[in-house]
Amino acid sequence: MRKRIAVIGSSGGNLYNLGGKDPTKLLGEIISQMESAGVEPAAIQYIGAQSSMDMAGESTPAAVYAWDGDSKQIITVHEGTLGSCNQYAAQLDAGIAEQIRSEEIDGLIVMSADPQKANQQAIQAAVDKQLPIAGTGGTSMAMIAARGAKIILTSGTTGTTNRTRAISFLTAFGKHWGISYRPMIGDAKKAAEMSHQPWRRIQVRGIMMSSLPGFIALALVLALSKIPGLSMLGDVFDVLIKALPVVIAAVAAKQVSDMEEVSVVAGVLAGVLSIDGGIIGGMLGGIGAGLFVNLLFRKCIEWRFPTTTVNIIAGGISGLAAGLIVYYLLAPIALQAGEWVKVLIEGAVAYSPVLAGLVAGLLIWPAIIGGVYHAAILPIVLLEMEKTGNSFLGAVDMVGLVMVSAGITLANIVAPREKSEAALATPGFLINMGFGTFVEAAYPFMFSNKIVFAGAIISSGVAGMLVGFFDVRGTAYVPSIMAPLLSNNMAGFILAMASGLIGSFLITLAANKLGKKRVKHVEEQM
């Protein structure tokens, strides 16, 4: 038989500011961790007020949440004033107490409960049956312990999050019952595999993509600093460059451990200590912090540390440990690795800028179609931007991918082979021009017509060649009108962008007309 746990309590005082004000999310995290542990939710009685219980009164708006065993969902069973919710909760309390006495409940999770009123009967039944209890809320847990309850985990709420509390509860129950439990983090199907192999959560592509807004902010500040009267923003640019490893580290730690705020704190600490290693150093520090968070969190729970202390150790010590490793050992190596990549790009451009641009333009479409772009090219773009705020390959991205995709979609708006294709092409054109992304909008037209496909690569190659000829450095992922402002050569970038758009537009236009003629010829022969 699977163990069954009931959850009782309220949004509390301090808990209200640490997840309690969003009952569905708080309780949902507990249910998710129960599923991962192979435990069933038996009942829920949770009072969620619209303000901290420290300041709430009888007239404060509130709601009562319960568990619907049939639909397997958390439901709202009563809404009204806090006073009426307390009265309604007393009915659920009696029902849970009866389930405990009937041995239909094997354990109790308590969060900011009221052992004297709203939760009196359930807690007394748990004491009588010596049910294992895990909970948070210093005052309420002290009162419950004083009654002789069987406490397997107790802690305050300070420094905790929905996820870390839920994992703490289920870890305590797992250890008490001898159940094998691995925390559920992210997708349920992958959670079990990845918990045994944490390295599988390391996704360089995902880290880079999530950190991209920081680099675009850097490029914006660089452009603004060139405007007369705004030269003081040059100092802001210097500060942002130093902050980029911190951004990368925070994102990396969050993705590797996904322990909410705890992992973010660890990542920021590691990132601050990894600044000298550049963005590669920041990534290494963040990855290390994420791995340490998981390890230390699990160990501290096993050692029965209070949840607040667990979070402090997991967030603080993990960040420091990973950061110090980068600071003293890996920073010079990471910085040099980044320099080698930039030297390689600069060397190729210096040897023959036109040839470098042509080759980059010709290869960038096969790279993105083959899945290489985000894994290899985007990190290089960000490494270039780390020093100068714009990039040679970033400029090729804009002229060879974004503008070419815009040209293909524009041609299918102006003169589509079929009327339905105009509706398909319009959103893609607008997004490419307005936001500098969504090059995949051209795929349906490229894959259905070899001439359009070849035209995309040729147009990209010509545009990339002009990027090299004018020695342009720029970026994509920004509105096309703004892109030239963020480059080092506005006129050259505009010409290169125009060549990519016009070239792909004309070739696609011609391909569509040929396609129409072939269709008409076939129809005449039939």
HEC string of 85-125? Answer: HHHHHHHHHHHHHHHHHCCCCCEEEEECCCCCCCCHHHHHH
Mean pLDDT split into 10-residue runs, the chain, 526 residues: 92 86 91 91 94 87 93 93 93 94 95 90 95 87 90 79 87 90 58 50 76 80 78 84 89 83 91 90 92 86 77 88 93 78 75 91 88 71 75 91 95 88 89 86 90 95 95 87 89 96 95 78 59
Looking at the structure, do residues 154 and 221 belong to the same domain, yes or no? no
Do 110 and 140 form a contact (C-beta atoms < 8 A)? Answer: yes
Do 10 and 137 form a contact (C-beta atoms < 8 A)? Answer: no
Cα R_g (the chain), whole angstroms: 29
Q: Which of 333, 251, 325 is nearest to 290 (CA)?
A: 251
Query: Looking at beta carbons, which pairs linking 85-92 to residues 24 or more positions away fall under 8 Å?
Result: 85/47, 85/49, 86/47, 86/114, 86/117, 86/118, 88/64, 89/45, 89/47, 89/64, 89/118, 89/119, 90/117, 90/118, 90/121, 92/43, 92/45, 92/64, 92/66
Half-sphere exposure of 393 (CA within 13 A, CB side): 24
Q: Which of 128, 160, 195 is the last residue of a domain?
A: 195
Q: Which of 161, 177, 195 is the last residue of a domain?
A: 195
What is the number of domains present in the chain? 3
User: What SS3 class is residue 227?
Assistant: coil
Q: Is residue 297 part of a domain?
A: yes
Do 108 and 83 form a contact (C-beta atoms < 8 A)? Answer: no
The single-letter code of the amino acid at 447 is: F
Looking at the structure, do residues 323 and 408 belong to the same domain, yes or no? no
Q: Is 102 left (phi over 0), alpha (psi -120 to 50) or beta?
A: alpha
Q: Which of 391, 407, 396 is nearest to 442 (CA)?
A: 407
Q: Is residue 344 part of a domain?
A: no
Looking at the structure, do residues 95 and 169 belong to the same domain, yes or no? yes
C-alpha span between 338 and 329 (Å, rounded): 16
Res 315: pLDDT: 86
Q: Is residue 191 part of a domain?
A: yes
Q: Which of 300, 15, 54 is nearest to 141 (CA)?
A: 15
C-alpha span between 412 and 3 (Å, rounded): 60
Res 216: pLDDT: 80
* DSSP conformation class of 308: H
Looking at the structure, do residues 171 and 31 belong to the same domain, yes or no? yes
Looking at the structure, do residues 369 and 279 belong to the same domain, yes or no? no
C-alpha span between 303 and 499 (Å, rounded): 65
Q: Tell whether the torsion through CA atoms of 248, 251, 254 and 260 is positive or negative.
A: positive
Looking at the structure, do residues 174 and 236 belong to the same domain, yes or no? no
Q: Which of 31, 37, 28, 36 is nearest to 175 (CA)?
A: 37
The single-letter code of the amino acid at 335 is: L
Res 331: pLDDT: 85
Looking at the structure, do residues 325 and 415 belong to the same domain, yes or no? no
Res 496: pLDDT: 96
Looking at the structure, do residues 35 and 139 belong to the same domain, yes or no? yes
Distance of CA 337 to the CA centre of its chain: 26
| DSSP of 424-464 | HHHHHHHHHHHHS--GGGGHHHHHT-HHHHHHHHHHHHHHH
User: What SS3 class is residue 368?
Assistant: helix
Q: Which of 195, 228, 263 is the last residue of a domain?
A: 195
Q: Is residue 317 part of a domain?
A: yes
Res 491: pLDDT: 95
The single-letter code of the amino acid at 109 is: I
Looking at the structure, do residues 324 and 420 belong to the same domain, yes or no? no
Q: Is residue 343 part of a domain?
A: no
Looking at the structure, do residues 295 and 155 belong to the same domain, yes or no? no
Q: Is residue 345 part of a domain?
A: no
Q: Is residue 374 part of a domain?
A: yes
Looking at the structure, do residues 358 and 220 belong to the same domain, yes or no? no
* DSSP conformation class of 483: G
- CATH classification at residue 156: 3.40.50.2300
Cross-strand partners of 47: 10, 64
User: What SS3 class is residue 5?
Assistant: strand
Q: Residue 261: CB partners within 8 Å, gap ≥ 6?
A: 161, 315
Q: Which of 71, 54, 44, 43 is nearest to 16 (CA)?
A: 54
Res 338: pLDDT: 67
For 469, the domain range is 352-525
Do 477 and 437 form a contact (C-beta atoms < 8 A)? Answer: yes
Q: Is residue 342 part of a domain?
A: no
Looking at the structure, do residues 55 and 172 belong to the same domain, yes or no? yes
